[in-house]
A and B are shown apart, each in its own frame.
Chain A
């Protein structure tokens, strides 16, 4: 690991060092926010819309701050870890907000497994091409989280494994399965072409 003493003036003080130091001086964690908040916000905004992304981003950094003692010091870049926290917060945010709204409205809660699909349709319908939104909705929550970390957050397979806390072998097999599902859904065609044809 590179210490702050070794690079006292450069921008490359690793996130891991900052996190470790924040255990002693908690306010230093704000620097991690300054470095990565915009990126986490963009990811959350793509998945949930910008209004909910504001709440989610704030919660991600608070949650990360609370569990920072568990950060793996062997990972100098905190982005994969933050994306992992974001993935959990996004999932919880959807479930809890919908559960609360339904309870207040005195409506029956969603049956298990039904919420995420509807949520994806609702959230992405306005942003993503309908056919892609439908395909996304066919994936399991785990498959969807992984696909979007790779496709929208540009994480490598190794980084996605860190984010989701699974072995990189699991990432590869899950992506293989996801790719097969998408290929079947696309019928070997580029959905961009399908969408444009549909629009015409």
Chain B
């Protein structure tokens, strides 16, 4: 090189050694894939074979030679290349739309473990970037295992953005990629706090009493911002989730008990459905959680500027609007070979014993 490239070579960042535990795990995954590829057959002679560390590379060569000797008559033609060859199965990732939503469950769904709850939503929230601010809109389908034990999926599709009230639509918003994509959502894994679970089985186990539910909302709050954090926790428990009617009612009653929360009637969600609402004002924006007063089902959210200075726009400007349009129970996840990987559990596994994922503490 001996030129500009030398600079990069000289300054290459130090790299830590491959942690033995991660190395062993990666190797195990590779061997698992290899065994599946060989149909799980493991010849008796191979039981003696132990691929080795680089330090003992000569042993690998020796083992390889043994392989060649043992199976040479059947498969090995290293220099000629005419041995029987099975091609690997190579899957191509192709983005595909989510399947049409199944017919909405009549009455109260009774989701059973082993199935999945699919929640369809349309959302609009404020996005910021490169000094600009706009309203990012998306259509989503969230699949979550009823018991949370197996992985779920999220389809998220960008819709045409809207301008933030009082501001022009920034260039970055216009360049937002259209279309959608699948995203993996890991199931339960060690290290993930139990309080963060949003699967049906967990939510069905929450208190059906509003005072106990209120205590839950305040369990981990910062004292200085306790009420707004409790409201945030409640909001997160309602978004893209489904829970039995008793827990829904307890949660809504608990939210109404949070200091600063104001009830309202006839508040419209993104789909135009009107319902009752519980709202809290923070930073000049009134965030209302809209629900059906008859069924206590969550309908959506509405964020409205109520203070021009702190809200960053004209009073009355809508800066968030969503609608949870359907909740259905499905037997299995759709095929999504191109789903963006969720490595949450893999990272968490670094700090816990290997084995079956277990509910976190």
Q: Which A residues are within 8 Å of any B CB, using their own CB?
A: 1-13, 17-18, 20-31, 33-35, 37-38, 41-43, 45-46, 50-51, 54-55, 57-58, 61-62, 65-69, 73, 93, 95-97, 99-100, 103-104, 106-112, 114, 124, 127-129, 132, 136, 147-148, 150-152, 154, 175, 179, 182-183, 186, 190-192
Q: Is the CB of B173 within 8 A of A108?
A: yes
Q: Does B15 contact A (CB under 8 A)?
A: yes
The answer on a CB contact under 8 Å between B71 and A13 is: no
Is the pair A66, B10 in contact by a Cβ cutoff of 8 Å? no
Contact assessment for B176 and A37 in the assembled complex, using a CB-CB cutoff below 8 Å: no
Asked whether, in the complex, the Cβ of B22 is within 8 Å of the Cβ of A54, the reply is yes
Contact across chains for A100 and B23 when beta carbons are under 8 A apart: no
- Pairwise interchain contact B9-A151, C-beta atoms closer than 8 A: yes
Task: Specify which chain B residues have a CB less than 8 angstroms from the CB of A129 in the assembled complex.
Answer: 11
Interface majority SS on B: helix, strand, loop or mixed?
mixed
A192 partner residues in chain B, CB cutoff 8 A: 7, 10-11
Residues of A within 8 A of B154 (CB): 103-104
How far is it, in angstroms, between the C-alpha of A190 and the C-alpha of B61 when the chains are bound? 45
Does chain A have a CB within 8 A of B354?
Answer: no
Partner of B184, one of A29, A34, A54, A100: A100
**Judging by beta carbons under 8 Å apart, are A46 and B7 in contact?**
no
The answer to whether A186 touches B58 (Cβ under 8 A) is no
| CB contact between A67 and one of B52, B88, B125, B138 (< 8 Å): that residue | B88
- Chain A nearest CB, measured from B5 CB (Å): 5
Cβ contacts B195-220/A at 8 Å (1 or 0 each): 00000000000000000000000000
| A69 to B81 CA separation, bound complex (whole angstroms) | 12
A190 to B3, CA, bound (A): 10
Cβ 8 A contact of B61, one of A12, A100, A175: A12
Contact A37-B23, Cβ < 8 Å, known A8-B65, A11-B61, A106-B125: yes
- Give the residues in chain B near A1, CB-CB below 8 Å: 78-79, 81
A39 vs B343: C-alpha distance when bound (angstroms): 22
Contact of A151 with B12 at beta-carbon distance under 8 Å, contacts A13-B61, A103-B181, A186-B4 already known: yes
Q: Are A34 and B78 neighbours in the complex by a CB distance under 8 Å?
A: no
Q: How many A-B residue pairs have CB under 8 A?
A: 265
Give chain B residues whose Cβ lies under 8 Å from the Cβ of A37: 18, 23, 26-27
- Interface segment out of the listed B32-40, B262-270, B288-296: B32-40
Interface size class of B (residues with CB under 8 A): 35 or more
On whether A18 and B64 interact (CB within 8 A), knowing A27-B34, A69-B85, the answer reads yes
With contacts A4-B78, A65-B34 taken as known, whether A45 is within 8 angstroms of B60 at the C-beta atoms is no
Contacting residues of chain B (59-96) with chain A, CB-CB under 8 angstroms: 60-65, 67-68, 71-72, 75-76, 78-79, 81, 83-90
- 8 other A-B residue contacts (CB within 8 Å) besides A34-B60, A38-B54, A152-B8: A8-B62, A13-B64, A55-B346, A58-B29, A107-B136, A109-B158, A114-B175, A175-B5
- Determine the chain B residues whose CB is within 8 A of the CB of A67 once the complex forms: 88, 90
- Kindly list chain B residues whose C-beta atoms are within 8 Å of the C-beta of A175: 5
